[in-house]
């Protein structure tokens, strides 16, 4: 048994979100491998994960494996830039791409560092974030460091999201941290020059490409010159270049209670049970059954899937009336800051090991130390968890489900895959629910 000091490498946007809960209207799906990330394209839903696994489904229930390599990389993200081009990325510098709508996939390496975030416009142009580097590809097959002001990267060290529209237009949402000031670092010439724009009086929650434009959502403070110092309102805006932005005229008042976030091309989460889509001519709404929705979600039509401790799918309701607001948004996860100190050498290296900074429980409150033990499989996923000395079953489950989603570099010792059991102590803050 090894002892491990856990340092949270993620930021969790909302501390009271629950993970991996079950509900009768959600069903567990099995694409044939442990899933880590999900997206959608015109042809359906797509997931990636263990063993370079990539699978697709039209309805969330029937899955077909499109790519898999025994002992292959752990894929951490997947996306589609067009109807034909898609990509996935993960450990060991692995990038897997398709140019035929996902029918076939090819793999290549960009260095040896795990790729934590990436966005590609085509197979040879895009942005890549590793633990130590923020770089771009300009077509020559070499990663080039993003040439941004050192002051900008020091002041805004968190890479919230990466977005590529074309080989020339690429952007990065940089932030000071959780629920903090953020701005857009963009290029219009394929990475030769970069420009930073910090929109005043705003908090940006999501940044992505939809329909050939950048879209951002969050909140902004208005009427600051009036008595009381102004007030916050929901924000949704778009840009063709990341420098000049236009506020949407669509109805976004359902984002008002809490900022719309965890956005995909299908819309943004306004709560734990509602998707708001303001990208088109008018705003549309998609209510989702409560229970299993996380920030890793995707939809095609009324088919919705989400990844927590397992891959869960459901069928949403097609509505005409405005739905009621739901509960708190699911928590989002991001990599550590660019200026984070390297971890000490270890057989077990964390890739994504976040823990909610504040839990809400109906029995416990205060600062609590929680002994835990867990086992990391040879593929880098957590296969078993034991949470000890917690008198609240609800809180125990929340902690268990978060640890079960942790990801590590596939452990290797003396060149051989290794399965590791370890123990640690989590120090968490618990608030009593009202």
Tokens 């969330």, located at residue: 60
User: What count of residues does the chain have?
Assistant: 434
d(CA 181, CA 298): 27
d(CA 215, CA 199): 13
Task: Considering only CA atoms, give the Rg of the chain.
Answer: 21
List the Cα angle 264/288/65 in 5-degree steps. 60
d(CA 407, CA 111): 20
d(CA 159, CA 350): 18
Spell out the domain ranges in the chain.
Answer: 1-19+331-434
Q: pLDDT of the chain along its 434 residues, tens only?
A: 443 433 333 333 322 233 233 345 899 999 999 999 999 999 899 999 999 999 999 999 999 999 999 989 999 999 999 999 999 999 999 999 999 999 999 999 999 999 999 999 999 999 999 998 999 999 999 999 999 998 999 999 999 999 999 999 999 999 998 778 999 999 999 999 999 999 999 999 999 999 999 999 999 988 877 777 778 899 999 999 999 999 999 999 999 776 899 999 999 999 888 999 999 999 999 999 888 899 999 999 999 999 998 999 999 877 656 666 677 777 777 788 997 777 676 778 888 887 877 888 888 889 999 999 999 999 999 999 999 988 899 899 889 988 998 998 889 888 888 999 999 999 999 988 76
Which architecture, in CATH terms, is 1-19+331-434? 2-Layer Sandwich (3.30)
φ, ψ at 234 (rounded to 5°): -65, 150
In a 13 Å sphere around the CA of 249, the CA atoms on its Cβ side amount to 1
- Give residue 434's pLDDT: 67
Asked whether 61 and 27 are in contact (CB, 8 A), the reply is yes
Q: Positive or negative, the Cα torsion across 170, 40, 48, 421?
A: positive
């Amino acid at each position: 048994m090894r002892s491990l000091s856990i340092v949270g490498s993620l930021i969790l946007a909302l501390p009271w979100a629950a993970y991996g809960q079950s509900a009768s209207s959600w069903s567990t799906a099995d694409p044939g491998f442990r899933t880590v990330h999900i997206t959608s394209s015109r042809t359906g839903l797509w997931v990636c994960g263990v063993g370079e696994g990539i699978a697709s489904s039209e309805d969330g229930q029937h899955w077909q494996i499109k790519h898999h390599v025994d002992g292959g990389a752990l894929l951490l993200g997947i996306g589609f830039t067009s109807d034909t081009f898609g990509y996935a990325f993960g450990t060991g510098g692995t990038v897997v791409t398709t140019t035929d709508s996902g029918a076939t996939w090819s793999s290549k390496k960009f260095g040896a560092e795990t790729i934590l975030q990436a966005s590609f416009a085509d197979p040879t142009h895009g942005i890549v974030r590793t633990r130590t580097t923020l770089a771009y590809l300009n077509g020559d097959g070499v990663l080039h460091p993003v040439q941004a002001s050192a002051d900008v990267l020091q002041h805004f060290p968190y890479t919230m999201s990466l977005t590529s529209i074309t080989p020339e237009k690429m952007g990065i949402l940089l932030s000071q941290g959780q629920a903090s000031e953020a701005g857009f670092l963009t290029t219009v010439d394929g990475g030769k020059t970069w420009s930073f724009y910090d929109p005043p009086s705003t908090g940006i929650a999501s940044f992505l490409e939809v329909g050939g434009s950048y879209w951002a959502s969050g909140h902004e403070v208005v009427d600051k010159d009036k008595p009381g110092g102004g007030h916050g309102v929901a924000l949704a805006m778009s840009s063709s270049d990341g420098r000049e932005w236009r506020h949407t005229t669509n109805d976004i008042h359902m984002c008002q209670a809490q900022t719309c976030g965890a956005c995909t091309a299908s819309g943004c989460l306004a709560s734990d049970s509602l998707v708001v889509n303001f990208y088109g001519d008018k705003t549309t709404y998609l209510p989702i059954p409560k229970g299993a929705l996380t920030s890793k979600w995707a939809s095609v039509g009324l088919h919705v899937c989400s990844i927590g401790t397992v891959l869960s799918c459901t069928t949403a309701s097609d509505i005409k009336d405005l739905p009621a607001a739901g509960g708190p948004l699911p928590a989002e996860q991001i990599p550590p800051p660019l200026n984070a100190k390297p971890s000490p050498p270890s057989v077990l290296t964390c890739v994504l090991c976040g823990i909610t900074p504040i839990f809400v429980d109906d029995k416990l409150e205060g600062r609590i130390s929680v002994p835990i033990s867990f086992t990391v499989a040879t593929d880098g996923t957590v296969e078993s968890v034991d949470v000890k000395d917690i008198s609240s079953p609800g809180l125990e489950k929340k902690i268990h489900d978060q640890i079960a989603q942790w990801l590590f570099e596939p452990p290797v010792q003396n060149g051989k895959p290794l399965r590791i059991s370890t123990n640690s102590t989590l120090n968490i803050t618990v608030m009593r629910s009202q």
